[in-house]
Each structure stands twice: as structure tokens, then as C-alpha cells.
Structure 1
Amino acid sequence: MKVLPASALIFLTASANGLVVDGRSKLVERDGRTYHQLVDRSTNATIEIVKNSGICETTPGVNTYSGYFSVGPEMNMFFWFFEARNNSETAPLATWFNGGPGCSSMIGLFEENGPCHFETGAVEPSLNPNSWNEFANMLYIDQPIGTGMSYGIDNVTSTAAAAPYVWSFLQAFYNQFPEYKGRDFGLFTESYGGHYGPGFADYILDQNAAIDAGRVTGEKINLVALGINNGWTDPGDLYKAYIDYAQFNGYRPLITPQYAAEYYAAYAAICKPALDLCPSPVGDDAACIAANAACEGSIYSQITADSDFDVYDVREPSINAGLPGAYSVYLNRPDVLRAIGAKHPFEDCTNTLEPGSIVPYAEFQVTGDMARSYLTQLSNVVKAGVRTLLWAGDADFICNWMGFLVTANRVDYPGQDKFANEILVPYTVNGVPHGTFKTVENLSFLRVFQAGHEVPMYQPETALQVFMQTLKDLPISST
């Protein structure tokens, strides 16, 4: 066996030295780590994995895997997989995607719902008792390429373009971990995940149908649940809600009634007409770029300039964007990167401007993806019977609950009229009020009290409860 030098590209081709046979892996020693390496011929995905790195999840008997799946030529997508702490042999499988576009899912792992978190002032992580792997096998994915620790060539400039690569990733995962084939599968996400969630879920359902029809070869994904918190799904709903929320958020007014009247006029005259010219999910990039600029300039930028508040938590003043989180410093330690098999430095939300660097946010801007509505795709998923939870922390401005509720009420499915006319009722956790909600058939909406943009960080017990209920294909309910 030929061992490549540490400086060489670590991914091998299917024919390299006859190293790999389907279903079998080779152990490769490098940089003080042992890697499990194979090529899955069904997807042409080269897989390199570190098992039980000892980082983050330290619960005895719970296996972890981290490394890269190659989802295309020189396209290396980082993942971190954690077995469920309870009944992993039968527990469902769930994925988590942060938004951005270009924000790493390691944010969700370390700050929101992963097996470990950082207590205030800590420089090392500790176990999170409300981790979602208490119930499910959890898979965190950095996508598109250029996000987090993923690296290589980036062909993704929109949500629609990202979906096939996510599907290919999941196909590679099933071939490497065949014991998860056919298990209940949940897709959970936040923020720009209001695009990702409906876009990826709708694509998965289309691929399932194509597999049934014999047009596609692959493993069907048993999608039973979609969860989106504080989602950017329909820009028209959210831009108007910026004005509503700025006045009536329940914490503090962010603008005066006089300014609100000016912004409503700008929405009607400038923003909404521009958005009406932007199709979804593809087509007429110029119109969508213009719509995004029109709405940003006339609504969002004006409101945020008029008041000192954190757009992710209006209870706080404007954020100091220059300070990295403790998890970001931790993940960039050479010993941690080496332990988890990472081959690229960590960046929480990619904004590097060095020549030749990949900045997903900028890539998505050039197609106008931000201005496109994903309400149709969300409606398709709900109509297909997938248990769907739309939820939002009520202290978040940038993807606020008022706008997301308007979107929820507009979901086109058999229960739409009843859902739109239902009022929100108290949601409790162990008898304590934590929000208000409504459910009709397989669609639920939840407003979470005292929570900013990253709901599981602010209300971890509530987040775990609704996650479990949704992934069990149950309507959310108070306890």
C-alpha cells in the first residue's frame, strides 16, 4: 500500500492502487491519526473518517465519526456524526444545517443542540445534557463547499444548486453506514435554512419518486420530519414584518410610528414590486439581484441604522462582530483540527476575501437567491405528509416570528384555511409556559419566548422537546 505524504491531496480515486472495494475500508496512518478510507463506487464518493476522536462527545459507548465525503471532483464536504446516546441501533437519523449562506453547522453543534457546549468563560467544551443526540443519531454537515471546514471547488451559487450535492452526500453516508438506510430521517435547520430546508426536502422527495420510477439509482431517504427555526423562506413576508416587528415586538420599540409609515410606503412602492419580478427557485437572476438590493436598501438597512440593537436578539445592543466565539477559537487549535480529521481551518461564517477564496454568501448573491421565495417548495413538502415544524425565537429580528407566522399561514396544503384561522395557544414544558403554538394536520408553528435567533441556545429544554415530538412524527404538544 502506498501512503501519500501529508502535503498531498488526501482523496484518492476509485482506481488508486486498488485500495478500495465497496463496503471495505483501509486504515491509513497520517499526522498521528488513523483514518478509515474507502471509495464508494455507487456514488464515486471518497470517504475518509476519524472514529472516536475524543472531541466533544465523551459519553461512554457513544461512537463519533468526523471527516470528509467527496461529493464531486475536488469537492470535500466536512461532516461530524454522533450516535444517539440512547438506543442508537434503532434511533432515527437527523441532519442539522446552519444557514448563512456560508455559515458552518459547527455553530449549531457547539452553540445550540450538539453533544457539547461552552459554559460561560470556559475554554474547553463540556457535555450538553439537552443535546439532540439524546434522542437521535445526529449528522452535522458543512455545506456548500467553502463553508466551515469544507474545501475545494465550489459549483454552488444557489439553494437549488446546493440540493443535489446534499443528496449525494447522504447517498455516500448511507453507503458508508448502511445500518441507517430506511430509518426515519429528519432535516432540521435555521435562518437561511428557510431556503435550505424546503429546497433540500423537496429535492429529496423528487429523488425518491425518481428512484421508484427507475429514473434514478440510489437509496430512498425516509423523510418524516422537517424543522426550521427563524427561517428566511419568503422574503416578502419578512421584509414587511421588519416594520411590524420593529414596532410591536413586545420587548422594546425599535422605530417611531412616523418612520414606520415611511417604511410601509417604501415596501409598497419599492420592495414588493421588485420581489414580484423575482421567480423561484431559478431564473432571471438580474431581477432577483435588483429585488434584494431594493428591499435591503429601503427597509432593512434603514431600520437597523435607526436604532441600536442586535438583529439576532433585540434585547441586546448592536453586536461586536470582531469577537469569535469560544468554540471558534477551540476548533482552530491544531490539536483539535488534527483530532477530528479536518484539513482546512475553521471559519464560522465564511467571509474571507483572499484571492481565490470561496465565499458562499457572495456566490449566492450573484444569482439573487436571497430574494427568491421558497414557499412553494415548503408547501410541496407539507402536502407530501412530512411532519413540519416552523418555529422562532421571539427576540430575533432578522428572521422574526411575525414574518415567519405569515409564511406559515400561507402554506398551501389541505389544512391551510383552518391553520390560518387558528389562534396561538400556550406551549408548556413541564408545566412552565415557554411559547405559543398551533397545529393543523402535519404543520405546526411555535413562537418561543425569551429566545433569539439560535433558539436551542436560549431555550435548550424546549428545543429538545419539540425536536423529539416532531421527529417522532407527532404534533407538538405541551407537557
Structure 2
Amino acid sequence: MSVYLGPTLLFVVVVLELCFSPATVVAAGSAVTHLPGYEGTLPFELETGYIGVGGKGEEVQLFYYFIKSESNPDTDPLVVWLTGGPGCSGLWSITYDNGPLRFNKVEYNGSLPTLSLNAYGWTKVANIIFLDLPAGTGFSYAITSRANHSDDIQASFHGSQFVQKWLKEHPNFISNDLYVGGESYAGIFVPIVTRFLSDGIEAGVTPWINLKGYLSGNPVTTGIRDFNYQIQYAHGMGLISDDLYKSLERHCNGEYQYIEPSNLLCMQNVATFYQLHSELYAFHILEPACADDNASPTKAPKCHNVVNNGPKLFDQRRSLGERNKSNNLTTANCRDHWYNLMSYWANEQIVRDAIHIRKGTVDLWEFCNSNLSYTEKTTDVTSYHAYLSTKGYRSLIYSGDHDPCITYLSTLAWIKSLNYSVIDDWKSWWADDQVAGYTMTYSNGMTFATVKGGGHTVPESAPHQALAMFTKWIQNGGLQ
């Protein structure tokens, strides 16, 4: 089965729905000038609101945060940003990743968590819509139980429908260059949403969209097979012994996820690897690992949750490792501990009133919905990238080189499988007279980049380098 579906009946239905959705749409979003926990007036323009998608009934109400560029919003690019998960909210990106805010790391004592500015937010140079996608994510919700369930294709279609309707409400941004972006599991959404938008342009759907390309960070691309490169990565970083690596190579033949039960030596070696792997922080090899906290309101994902149909062996070994380490780690030292502040903040009524949340729609806000009703239908989106390159869209695929989850090696492997000619081979790119990472450019308009010291979510762990990378690429077309 073709994973990008091609010009089949599905895309005919998509075009018809986009063309014949109701002409009357919900009023444009509402301005937010003050946020509880932030002192004074916001120094950037924030708008929040809902866009109804899912056909004539608009059974899915997608919530968004739109932040105008702090440079020149009239001409700067417009980026639709999708947080991973699936089911993780755009609010996380705004306050921990590439957005303009940060929660202050002060232990929660029952008072409202406070916010300060992030000097390295990408809204310095671009307009960004942070979208809660799919239904059940953040403050997005479904009107019916049927619409509450989603999958990769439906969620991506809803994302493209959102873009069309949002631009109808914001015609001043129709001429701005448009990019679709995201990280982690959003690596599945990004190329599919871009494909839907591209097909809509070719079909003459209005308003016309000035689609220029897309960007993905440490992206899930080939599903569970992305994890096959964790072992090679761990060996290269000195995280496992040479003997274990050679034994894994000898007995597993490069396949570490779908293992024949009769291959006991491979099973044993992989179990040993994942026990060692589980002792690390799932998303950055240099940062403190987090002990489990069942009382945590955040429900931060583990690496294997990035692709929910991960192997049982992986789950078992991680669980064992987490039990072993939970007695001697200080939870407050790890990033996941501070994510709790976001949940405390977003569940305060004063906050919900300030950002115009509809009452009675979301009882408990979670940064990643632990009960999301979702089916992962698309196990490999490589062919979507191949298709989009034939249309002339440019792309940036970047990897934090300290991410042990979706490693830069797995990303390079699927890019290599596309057989594009290399224009500029592996070379350094720089920020402030220092090497910030390494990059390759390809004949199809794709740029690959590593970010030195970056983890699974690069703007969070290497914010200065991430902003430099994004600015270079979005403004100059490359990283040189």
C-alpha cells in the first residue's frame, strides 16, 4: 500500500470538502494582551481562538495560539507549528521550546506559576501558529464521540483544513510565505499536511496558499524502525561496550525491533541494551534522567511513547530501568519535573479566561493527552518527502546530535534512501564564530542539519543554536 495515497479518492474527497465547506466560519480569534503569571503587557502580539474542521458539521474544534513576528509580521514567513505526541499541546512549544515564553523554575507551592521571556523564541523572525492537533490535544475538542477519535491521515487533513480556514479569517497573511513545521511525532504530520495543502493548491482551492516548504526536527519518519539506529548511535557515543555492539551486529543483522522469538541471542543482547538505555534521560544523553512520579499531572512521554506501537521488549526494559533508578534520582533535577508548572498554570480558571477557553470543553488540561483516542495508521512517510520534492518545496530536516531517541543516524538513513544528489556534502555551520553543527544540502531542495549539543527537541536544549539555524534557513535558504 502506498503510504502517501497518491491522487486517489481520498484526495478528491479532501478537495471537495475544502471547496464546499460552509461559507460562514466562526469569528476570528481574540487578542490576548496580558497573561496571568507574566508581569505587565505582553511585548508581542498574541491571538487565541478556535477553527472548526471536519466537514459541514465542524465536529472538531481546533484551538490555536497565533503569535505575530516581532520583526516584520507583514512580510515575515508564517509557520504552522505542530507539537509531537501525538496529543501534545502547542502551549508546550510556546513555553518550553521555540516560543517566546518560559516558565520560571520555582517549586510549585500552590500559587500561580510565573512566566518570563525567552530570548531565543522563533517568533523573533516569523509569525507562528501553534496548533493543538488532533482533537483531544490541549484545548482542542470534538463535539461528538465519533469525531473524538483520529488517526494520522484524518488529523493531517484537519490540519490542512485549519490552514485554509484560518487564512480566510486572516487575509492579511495570505501572501506571506507559508511553512509547516514540527518535531518528534509531528514528523508524521508535517509532510502529510504539506501534501494536502499542495494538492489543494493544484486543485484550485481558495484562498490560494503561498506554500514554500516545511521543516521537521528529530522527526519520526519510518515508525518503529527509526529505533533501529539507537544501538549504532549508542555505540558511537560510547554508551555501550564494543563487545555488546559486535554481538548485536552478529546476532541481529541490523534488525532490533522485530526479532524472531527463536533468535534468543539477539533477544538477550537487545534486552541488555535497553536496560542500559533506560538509565539515561530519554531525550538527551547528558541531562539528568527523571524518576517516575505517578502523581505528576504532566504525563510527559517516554521515548517509546513517541511511536506508541513500540516493541513490548522495549517497554519491559525501560520499565525495569525506571524502577531501578527511581530510588536514587532527584526528580527536580530533570526537565520533566518542571513541565508540571505548565499543567498547574493551564488548569487555573483565571488562565483559561485570559486565553478565551470555552467553558465546559476541556475538564483537565494535559500537556500530552494520556487518554488520546488515536490510531497510528502511517508507519512510513518517506514517500511523502519524495513526492513533495517533485513539487519544488524546500525543506529543513534537523537533528539534535545528543538525542538517543530519534537519532540523527536514523534521519540520515531515510534521507539517503531517497537517492537525492548531494550538492554540499557534510560541512560545519556556524553561530557566533563557533561550530553549531553540521549540514548537508541536496538537489531536491532539502537541507539536513545537526545541532551540536541539541536533544530531541532542539530549541529547548540548544536554544541559541536553534534560533540561528532557523533564521539562516528561513531568511537565506541555507545555513552558510
Same fold judged by TM-score > 0.5?
Answer: yes
Aligned to 2:71: 86
1:234/1:150 CA distance change after superposition, 3 Å? same
Aligned to 2:223: 235
> Shift in Å at residue 396 of structure 1?
0.9
After TM superposition, what 4+ stretches of structure 1 lie above 6 angstroms from structure 2?
A: 56-61, 297-302
Aligned to 2:284: 313
* Alignment-mate amino acid for residue 364 of structure 1: T
1:141/1:269 CA distance change after superposition, 3 Å? closer
1:411 aligns with 2:418: yes
Aligned to 1:346: 365
Aligned to 2:50: 68
> Shift in Å at residue 53 of structure 1?
4.2
> Shift in Å at residue 339 of structure 1?
0.6
| Correspondences of 1:25-424 after superposition (within 5 Å) | 42=22, 45-47=25-27, 49-55=29-35, 62-72=44-54, 73-121=58-106, 123-152=113-142, 153=144, 154=147, 157-211=150-204, 217-235=205-223, 238-249=226-237, 252-254=238-240, 257-258=243-244, 261-262=247-248, 265-266=251-252, 271=257, 303-307=273-277, 308-322=279-293, 323=296, 324=298, 325=339, 326-343=341-358, 344=362, 345-352=364-371, 359-360=372-373, 363-365=374-376, 367=377, 369=378, 372-412=379-419, 416-418=420-422, 423-424=425-426
In 1, are the aligned partners of 2:103 and 2:342 still within 8 Å (CA)? yes
1:447/1:77 CA distance change after superposition, 3 Å? same
1:174/1:48 CA distance change after superposition, 3 Å? closer
In 2, are the aligned partners of 1:57 and 1:116 still within 8 Å (CA)? no
Greater RCO, 1 or 2 (C-alpha within 8 Å, sep 6+): 2
Aligned to 2:310: none
Q: Deviations over 1:222-268 (max 9, x none)?
A: 1213111100112375232111112113xx41466326633774465
Aligned to 1:27: none
CA–CA distance in structure 2, aligned partners of residues 189 and 96 of structure 1: 5
Aligned to 1:432: 434
* Alignment-mate amino acid for residue 64 of structure 1: L
1:194/1:267 CA distance change after superposition, 3 Å? farther
CA–CA distance in structure 2, aligned partners of residues 472 and 434 of structure 1: 18
Q: Which residue, 439, 452, 459 being the options, matches 2:462?
A: 459
Q: Deviations over 1:24-50 (max 9, x none)?
A: xxxxxxxxxxxxxxxx97555434632
* Alignment-mate amino acid for residue 227 of structure 1: L
Q: Deviations over 1:78-135 (max 9, x none)?
A: 1000111122222221111111111112111110111211243383111122211111
CA–CA distance in structure 1, aligned partners of residues 219 and 239 of structure 2: 22
In structure 2, the gaps of 5 or more residues are 1-19, 108-112, 261-266, 299-338
Q: How many residues align?
A: 392
* Alignment-mate amino acid for residue 438 of structure 1: M
User: Which secondary structure does the structure 1 equivalent of 2:357 belong to?
Assistant: coil
In structure 1, the gaps of 5 or more residues are 1-39, 212-216, 275-296, 353-358
CA–CA distance in structure 2, aligned partners of residues 193 and 187 of structure 1: 10
In 2, are the aligned partners of 1:198 and 1:374 still within 8 Å (CA)? yes
In 2, are the aligned partners of 1:81 and 1:139 still within 8 Å (CA)? yes
* Alignment-mate amino acid for residue 138 of structure 2: G
User: Which secondary structure does the structure 1 equivalent of 2:29 belong to?
Assistant: strand
In 1, are the aligned partners of 2:422 and 2:441 still within 8 Å (CA)? no
Aligned to 1:26: none
> Shift in Å at residue 313 of structure 1?
1.0
In 1, are the aligned partners of 2:135 and 2:150 still within 8 Å (CA)? no
CA–CA distance in structure 2, aligned partners of residues 95 and 298 of structure 1: 44
1:306/1:460 CA distance change after superposition, 3 Å? closer
CA–CA distance in structure 1, aligned partners of residues 90 and 269 of structure 2: 29
CA–CA distance in structure 1, aligned partners of residues 367 and 253 of structure 2: 32
CA–CA distance in structure 1, aligned partners of residues 66 and 81 of structure 2: 10
CA–CA distance in structure 1, aligned partners of residues 271 and 135 of structure 2: 29
User: Which secondary structure does the structure 1 equivalent of 2:380 belong to?
Assistant: coil
User: Which secondary structure does the structure 1 equivalent of 2:157 belong to?
Assistant: helix
User: Which secondary structure does the structure 2 equivalent of 1:426 belong to?
Assistant: strand
Percent identity, please: 22
CA–CA distance in structure 1, aligned partners of residues 248 and 256 of structure 2: 12
> Shift in Å at residue 157 of structure 1?
3.4
User: Which secondary structure does the structure 2 equivalent of 1:46 belong to?
Assistant: coil
CA–CA distance in structure 1, aligned partners of residues 27 and 185 of structure 2: 28
In 1, are the aligned partners of 2:248 and 2:269 still within 8 Å (CA)? no
In 1, are the aligned partners of 2:421 and 2:442 still within 8 Å (CA)? no
In 1, are the aligned partners of 2:34 and 2:42 still within 8 Å (CA)? no
1:210/1:267 CA distance change after superposition, 3 Å? farther
CA–CA distance in structure 2, aligned partners of residues 408 and 57 of structure 1: 45
TM-score by length of 2: 0.74
Aligned to 1:23: none
1:173/1:260 CA distance change after superposition, 3 Å? farther
Q: Deviations over 1:264-323 (max 9, x none)?
A: 74465674699xxxxxxxxxxxxxxxxxxxxxx999876433341112112235323534
TM-score by length of 1: 0.75
User: Which secondary structure does the structure 1 equivalent of 2:221 belong to?
Assistant: coil
1:60/1:76 CA distance change after superposition, 3 Å? closer
> Shift in Å at residue 444 of structure 1?
1.0
In 2, are the aligned partners of 1:57 and 1:64 still within 8 Å (CA)? no
